[in-house]
């Protein structure tokens, strides 16, 4: 069962992100956001499905601390990336 769930999430991620054109920056942003959301859902959903609430708390703590570190670094170094 676990392998089936993992396979379904990976296939959905690839199918959603696959039609991205390399020159279309907006599509890359969308594909990146979808990929991020699927991975976060997978990280929180799989332990919940298995009844591993301690693992769910650990995943939520990891995601939250990564978000806080990212936001702190963005504010500390407010540089924008060049657009090609």
User: For residue range 34-82, what is the model confidence (pLDDT) as tens digits?
Assistant: 888 888 888 888 888 888 899 889 989 999 999 999 999 999 998 877 6
Region for residue 51 given its phi and psi (left: phi exceeds 0; alpha: psi -120 to 50; beta: otherwise): left
Cβ–Cβ < 8 Å for 21, 27: yes
Angle formed at CA 22 by CA 20 and CA 27, multiple of 5 degrees: 45
DSSP letter string, 35-52: HHHHHHHHHHHHHHHHT-
Domain residue limits, the chain: 2-76
pTM summary value: 0.59
């Amino acid at each position: 069962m676990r392998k089936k769930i993992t396979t379904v999430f990976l296939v959905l991620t690839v199918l959603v992100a696959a039609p991205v054109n390399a020159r279309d920056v907006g599509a890359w942003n969308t594909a990146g956001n979808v990929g991020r959301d699927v991975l976060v859902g997978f990280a929180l959903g799989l332990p919940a499905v298995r009844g591993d609430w301690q693992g769910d708390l650990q995943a939520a703590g990891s995601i939250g601390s990564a978000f806080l570190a990212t936001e702190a670094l963005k504010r500390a170094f407010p540089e924008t990336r060049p657009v090609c």
